[in-house]
Amino acid sequence: MTRVLNSPWLVCLFGGLCVTCLCVASGCGDLIPPRPPIGQPAAPTTEPEGSAASEVDAVATEDQPLQESFEGDWNACYVYRFGSQVVGVSEIKAAARIDSVQFAAATEAAYSRNERLIFRTGKASFVRRITLTSVESVDGALKSFQSEVHAGPISSTARGTRGPQKLAIELSSDSGQETLQLDWPAETRGLFALEQTLRRRVIETGETRRLPVLMPSLQSIGLIELHCTGDASVPMFDGTYQTLREVDVSTFRDGQQVDSLVVWIDEQGVIQKTLHLGLRLESFRTDRASADELFRRPDDRRVHFSVTGSLRADADPTEVAFVVSDPSRSTSEDDSGEFRPVDADGADVVLLPAVAGQSVKRSGDAVQVMVSTQAKTPTGFEADRSVAEPIDTAASTLLDIRHPSVTRMAGAIGELPIQELAEQLARLAQNDLSLIPQGELRPASAIIRSGQGGEMDHAVLIAALLRARQIPARVVFGLTRSEATGSSAENRVTMHLAAWVVASIEGRWISIDPMTSQINRADQLCLSRPAGDADLNVVLAQVFRRLGEINVEIRGASYGD
């Protein structure tokens, strides 16, 4: 599951509550104002002298055998808040079900969680979506689980099945597939252990519970420790206060504490609020309608990118000057005294490609980029001088140009001059497809069959149609200006991860925007020009990860008026 979200992202999973954030902020005093416990706390539990209470491995299996009965059907919605901003929602459900093998009523419990949460890394932001299901015995023993994680264009799945003493896990992501097995002691809990234990058996003031659980990395078994500190007056989402029972939750792996969370529960053990201490991320229980109202993200499949600088909102630029820097790259001084970016082995790193309408020039540890609607190259800049290759008109996994549906659609436009033909094919794709949020990239034939596609799907289809008519074409990835928001006087620029098409027309490369059919837009910045037969899903994942490392500044623009 977390293979999608490697460093610098931090993922902390406690039972069905997944608390996630990008940046770790220190301190949380402003989120937990001073509030003495309500009433007198019970005497804390004590350990005999010389006991191993502080040694996590020693107590991992002796405190809490599986003796808790199913808590009954329930569901709960939560909104996540960072500071004053609502950054996500989740819904958790539990329901008894019939065992499909024994065909006996109420021998299993099915749990599910659907979560959407905003991530920010560098200048990029996106909504990560998780769907998790888990099947367990009524006393809390894990039987199987399935997880799907979508982060920008990257997706991963995980499936787990428990045997007598092992948990078999299958992981699948853009980096490949992996199978592993974990030793699975009988008392180990699954991914909803926190909610289960709090709802099934009241935790008393001063009580400490320790539960061995599957860690969210799916690589090891860890331990969560719950310690109830007593009743407290707790600030809620609407500014009111509620008297709730406070429970400190710590997670340990290999004897080391790796995370901490505070949860507040009502008299039935239902979690009403959580606070992740390191991340300053809160969650509050609410109803589904309120959650949907508080977290409206109609474009939650887009990856947004913040740039410095401005463009006029009332006109399309004919030239835009960008400066792109990559602080994550080290630099090396060459013989001329100029610093250039290098990788870990000291090899030069190509920060940006020269591509249709886009000229580049290295300047110290940054790259100057001029994108123009005109076929001209500024002095000292490198232009795209590549020539089309046979592979640029060949079939590939996604550009399946020999599929009957692709050849039929490409043939719907009669013979025209080559550039006009390219423009008409782009308009055909634009007109025939309904626009939907972008999912995983699909073959052109599948896009045609569905009759709908995201922005990147449009680019895939246009490239396939061009190749089917023997026009060399490639799909490229980069940033394109998003639709203007707010007052036009602000001139604030937001961009998003996008794909478009470059095509070779009479020996010169042009770019084609898949959403407008516009030729050579100047407010696009190409970050990768894949080879003609490249695996586009792999390249897209690479570009997505790189967004967290770069800075983009708009230095100026021309409008031709």
Q: What is the pLDDT of residues 96-143, one digit of tens each?
A: 887 655 555 567 899 999 999 999 999 999 999 999 999 998 888 899
Residues 267-296: tens digit of each pLDDT: 999 999 999 988 889 999 999 999 999 998
The pLDDT of residue 492 is above 90:
no
The pLDDT of residue 189 is above 60:
yes
Q: Quote the CA–CA distance of 108 and 435 in Å, as a whole number.
A: 41
In this prediction, residue 242 carries a pLDDT of: 96
Helix, strand, or coil (residue 551):
strand
SS (H, E, C) 199-255: HHCCCCCCCEEEEEEECCCCCCEEEEEEEEEEEEEEECCCCCEEEEEEEEEEEEECC
What percentage of the chain reaches a pLDDT higher than 70?
80
**Torsions phi, psi of 537, nearest 5?**
-65, -40
In this prediction, residue 351 carries a pLDDT of: 65
Q: How confident is the model at residue 459 (pLDDT cuts 50, 70, 90)?
A: very high
The pLDDT of residue 427 is above 70:
yes
User: What is the pLDDT averaged over residues 373-383?
Assistant: 89
Q: How confident is the model at residue 38 (pLDDT cuts 50, 70, 90)?
A: very low
The pLDDT of residue 164 is above 60:
yes
In this prediction, residue 328 carries a pLDDT of: 67
Q: Quote the CA–CA distance of 69 and 74 in Å, as a whole number.
A: 14
Q: Are 312 and 559 a contacting pair, CB within 8 Å?
A: yes
Q: How confident is the model at residue 216 (pLDDT cuts 50, 70, 90)?
A: confident
Give the burial string for 300-334 (b: 16+ CB within 10 Å, else e). ebbbbbebebebebeebbbbbbbbbbbeebeeeee
Q: How confident is the model at residue 70 (pLDDT cuts 50, 70, 90)?
A: confident
Neighbours of 343 (CB within 10 A): 10
Q: Are 368 and 412 a contacting pair, CB within 8 Å?
A: no
| Higher-confidence position of 413 and 331 | 413
In this prediction, residue 101 carries a pLDDT of: 59
Residues 175-187: tens digit of each pLDDT: 789 999 999 998 8
In this prediction, residue 470 carries a pLDDT of: 96
The pLDDT of residue 311 is above 80:
yes
Least confident of 4-18, 175-189, 403-417, 442-456: 4-18
For 159, 356, 383, the CA distances from 18, given in Å and listed in that order, are 18, 44, 47
The DSSP annotation for 449-517 comes to HHTEE-HHHHHHHHHHHHHHTT--EEEEEEEEEPPP-S-TTT-EEEEEEEEEEEEEETTEEEEE-TTT-
**What number of residues does the chain have?**
561
- pTM for the model stands at 0.81
The pLDDT of residue 92 is above 50:
yes
User: What is the pLDDT averaged over residues 196-218?
Assistant: 92
| Higher-confidence position of 12 and 174 | 174
In this prediction, residue 332 carries a pLDDT of: 43
The pLDDT of residue 390 is above 50:
yes
Q: How confident is the model at residue 48 (pLDDT cuts 50, 70, 90)?
A: very low
Domain spans in the chain, listed from the N-terminal domain onward: 2-39+54-291, 318-385, 389-536
Token readout for 111 is 């749990």
In this prediction, residue 406 carries a pLDDT of: 97
In this prediction, residue 377 carries a pLDDT of: 87
In this prediction, residue 105 carries a pLDDT of: 57
Give me the chain's average pLDDT, please: 83
In this prediction, residue 11 carries a pLDDT of: 35
Domain 389-536 sits in CATH at: 3.10.620.30
